[in-house]
Amino acid sequence: MFFFFLVIIVNSTTALLAQSRDVVARRDLARLAPDFAKDGVVYVEDYLSPRAFKSVVRESRGYVPTMRPETMDSVAKGRWGAYLPPESDIARILCSEHVCDSLRDISDRLVVASDFPIELRRYPRNARMKWHCDQALYEQPQLECVYTVENTSDSRTEWERRDGAIVSQSMRPNSLLVVLAEGPKHRVTPVTRGERVIAKFVYTSCPLKLPAWAHEPPSFLFLLADDIGWGDVSYNGGIAATPRLDAWSKRDGSITLQDMHSAGTVCSPTRATVLTGRNHFRDCVDYVYDCSDMTECEPDGTCAGGGTCDFAPRRTFTVADAVRNTHRSLFVGKWHLGSLFNDTSHASSPTTHGFGTFNATVGVAPTADANCQCSADWVGSCDFGHYNTSTHCFGTGNPCGDACNPGCCFNYWWNDDAPHGVANLSWPSPLDDSTYVADALATFLADDHTSPFFAQLSFHNCHVPFVGTPSARARCAAGETCRPPANGVPYTDAELDYYSCLTELDGAIGSVLDLLDARGYGRDALVWFATDNGPEVNCEPLGFCGGTVDRPTQAPGSAGILRGRKRDVWEGGHRVPSIVSWPRRYSGPAFASWDLISTVDFLPTVLDILQVERPQAQANWSIDGTSILPVFDRQHPMPSRGLGWWYRVATPDTAHGYAFRYGNWKFLYDLSTDLEERNDLANVYPDILSALMANFSAFNASVQYSRQVESQC
C-alpha cells in the first residue's frame, strides 16, 4: 500500500504580509483623486510599507537573471523583461486588497486587479521608452500602474498634463505612477548611467478584456504547409536551414507550439478542420480528393479510391463566415476540398464556404513549375527534379494535348465572371511555387493597407511532387542551406529536392512576415503557421524508421524522435511544427508552449477574439476546438480535453488505426515520459486505458451523430 502525503509550505513573507494590514503605507490617498481626474496621471512616493517594499526588492533581484531583452518592442527600446507567476510574492502584494483599496481612493472608481500578468522590467544603460499612450484592453477605467522597485539611473519619466505642460519626474524607489489608459502621453528618457527596475501591473473596472478589436479588428493569417514533419524545421533539429521560421520563433511576441497537432493525418481532412473547428469526419471528409485540375475532372463528393468526400454538404459554419462582416478574406494555394466550379451541383470552392475571393489549385500541385503541363507552349520549361517525369496526376485528358500526360495539368483558378464563375492562369507559374502563393497575398493587400483581413495561405511545399529549384539544390549540396551529412554520405537527389523545398517555403514565409510589417499589419495580425500532417512515406509496419532521426532511410522528411509519419495515428503522423504570434495580445519574450493544441482550435480562437457566435441553426452542433487565448496570456494552462484520430474510414477500425488522447495519456502511452511511444502501458494501467476507451467511445458516438444528423453525410 502506498501513502501519499501532501505537504503545504506557506512562504513566510507572504504569510506575514497576509496577516498585516500594513501593505500600503497608511495615508490619505483620496486627496490625489482630483489631480487624477483632471490629468489622468498621479505619482505617489513611499507607496508600500517598509516590510512589503523589502519583500518586493528581495524577490525582484531573484528574477533579474531570467529577464530577456525586448528586442521587437515598438515603444520601449533596450528594455529587458520577465512575466511573474501569479503565486510570486510581488504578484500577491501588488494584487492585494490593500493595493486595490488605495487605487480606488486615487481613481475614485471601483477597480479590481486585471487578468494581465505582472511584468518585471529593467531599464539598463541606453534603454528608453518613447512618447505613447497606453492602449485600453479593458472596460474603462484601466489603470496602468508602474511601481519603481530600484532606481540608480539618471533617467526620468515624463508625462503631458491636460493643459499641455510637461512634467518630468525622477522615479524614486518604492514609488507608484498611475496612468489612465487612452489618457496622457508619457515616456521614459534614455538611461545614460545606472539602471532602473520596475513592476508593471494593471487594475480595471472589469477583469475581463474587451474584445481585442474594440478599436480595430485584428487581421488573421493562417499559413498551412504540406507534408512537413515536426523534426523538419531547423529549430527542431532539421537538416534544412529554415532561418526565417527560426527567427520568428525567437522574436518577442512569438509562441512555438510544440504540442500542436493536425486534426487529420492526411491533406483534405486537416484542411476541413482548420475552417470548421470540427473533426473532419463530422463534415463528411473521410479521405482525400483525387482531381488535379478542373480542365481534367471535377471532384464530385467521392474520395480517391471510394468513400465520402463531400465537404460540409449542409454548409457548416467556417472561419470565413465568422469574419464576413468585418474583414476582407482570401484563400490562396492548395484547396483540396472539392470543385472550384461555382455553378454545378458539386460546387465546393472557397467562396462556397465563405471566402470573398480565392486563387487556388483544386488539389495537389508540384512545388516547381506547377502549371507547366497546362499548355504545349510551357511544357518545355518543366523541371521534374529527381522524379525525371510527371507524377501524382489525377484526371483524364489535358488542355496541353498529346504533348503532356493525362491529368498532369495543375493550374491556379480564381473567382471571376467567366464560365463556371472562375478563370485560370493563362501564363506559366513561377519556378518556385511558394513565391506565387506569397505574391498573391501581396497583390490582395496592395490596394488596401489598413482594413482588417483574413487570409489562408496553403502552400504546396512539400507534398509530392516536391522539387527544389536548381539554385536551391546547389546551395543545399554546397552546405550553405543544409547541414553537412553527418555520416559523410552525400544527400540523394530526392533529399536535395526536399530540403530545398523546405528552404524555399521558409523564404516565402519570411517574405509574408516582411509584407505584414511593411503594410502596418505586423503588430495587429494574428499569424499562425502549421502543417497538415507528418512527412510522406510510412515506415511499416510499426512506424519506426531506419537510418537516423533526422535522415530516415525510407524517404526524406523527419518527424524527429516521434513514431510514425503521414497517415499514422502515432505522434509523427499529426504532431506538427507550429508558431503563432499576435503582438497586440502578447508582446513579451518568445517562449515554447507544450499545451495540447490542434488545427480545430483556429475557428474557436477567432470567435473568441471577435465575440462572434455560430448561427442559431448550428448553435448546438458539436465543435471540437477551443480558443487558445489562454496561451497568449500565460497565466492559465489550456483546459484538458480529449482529441481523437483515425484514418480513411468513418468508423474507426484496427486495420486503419485509431488513437485517443486526454492530457498526457494516449492509447496507452504516457507522452510526458514517452514521446516516442515505445512503452505501451495498457497492462500496467488498465483503469486508465478503460477510462480513455470510454471517452473515445463517447467521442466517436458524437462524430457519428454529426455525420447522420448535422451534416447528413
State the Cα–Cα distance between residues 158 and 331, nearest whole angstrom. 47
Decide: 82 and 66 in contact? Cβ < 8 Å: yes
The mean pLDDT value for 340-369 works out to 96
pLDDT of residue 9: 28
| pLDDT reading at 558 higher than 70 | yes
Partners of 302 in the β-ladder: 308
Which H or E run includes 159?
Answer: strand 157-160
Decide: 73 and 252 in contact? Cβ < 8 Å: yes
C-alpha cell at 57: 526588492
| pLDDT reading at 701 higher than 80 | yes
Instruction: Report the candidate in 630, 695, 591, 22 with the shortest Cα–Cα distance to residue 251.
Output: 591
Tell me which residue has cell 481626474: 37
Longest dimension (CA), the chain: 92
DSSP state of 652: -
State the Cα–Cα distance between residues 454 and 603, nearest whole angstrom. 12
Contacts of 23 (CB under 8 A, 6+ apart): 17, 48, 49, 52, 93, 96, 98, 99
Neighbours of 619 (CB within 10 A): 9
| pLDDT reading at 73 higher than 60 | no
The number of C-alpha atoms within 13 Å of 557 and in the hemisphere containing its C-beta is 30
Contacts of 638 (CB under 8 A, 6+ apart): 595, 596, 597, 626, 628, 630, 631
In the three-class reduction of DSSP (H, G, I as helix; E, B as strand; rest coil), residue 308 is classed as: strand
pLDDT of residue 22: 58
Decide: pTM greater than 0.85: no
Q: Which residue has the higher pLDDT, 139 or 463?
A: 463
pLDDT of residue 71: 55
| Angle at which helices 493-518 and 243-250 cross, to 10° | 50
| pLDDT reading at 707 higher than 60 | yes
- In percent, the amount of the chain with pLDDT more than 90 equals 74
The mean pLDDT value for 668-687 works out to 97
Decide: 123 and 191 in contact? Cβ < 8 Å: yes
Assign 3-state DSSP to the chain and report helix, strand, coil percentages, each to 5.
25, 20, 55
| pLDDT reading at 477 higher than 70 | yes
- Tens-place pLDDT, residues 640-674: 899 999 999 999 999 999 999 999 999 999 999 99
The mean pLDDT value for 184-191 works out to 91
Decide: 50 and 101 in contact? Cβ < 8 Å: no
Neighbours of 485 (CB within 10 A): 13
pLDDT of residue 465: 98
pLDDT of residue 341: 96
Q: Which amino acid, one-letter code, is at 579? A: I
| pLDDT reading at 494 higher than 80 | yes
| Angle at which helices 267-276 and 602-610 cross, to 10° | 20
- Tens-place pLDDT, residues 568-577: 999 999 999 9
- For the chain, the C-alpha Rg in angstroms (whole number) is 28
The pLDDT confidence band at residue 74, using thresholds 50, 70 and 90, is low
Q: Which amino acid, one-letter code, is at 355? A: F
pLDDT of residue 18: 38
State the Cα–Cα distance between residues 670 and 663, nearest whole angstrom. 9
State the Cα–Cα distance between residues 187 and 35, nearest whole angstrom. 19
- Tens-place pLDDT, residues 6-40: 222 233 333 333 333 458 876 788 888 888 888 88
DSSP state of 66: G
The number of C-alpha atoms within 13 Å of 53 and in the hemisphere containing its C-beta is 17
Calculate the average pLDDT of the chain. Answer: 91
- Tens-place pLDDT, residues 393-419: 999 989 999 999 999 999 999 999 889
Length of the chain: 713
pLDDT of residue 86: 81
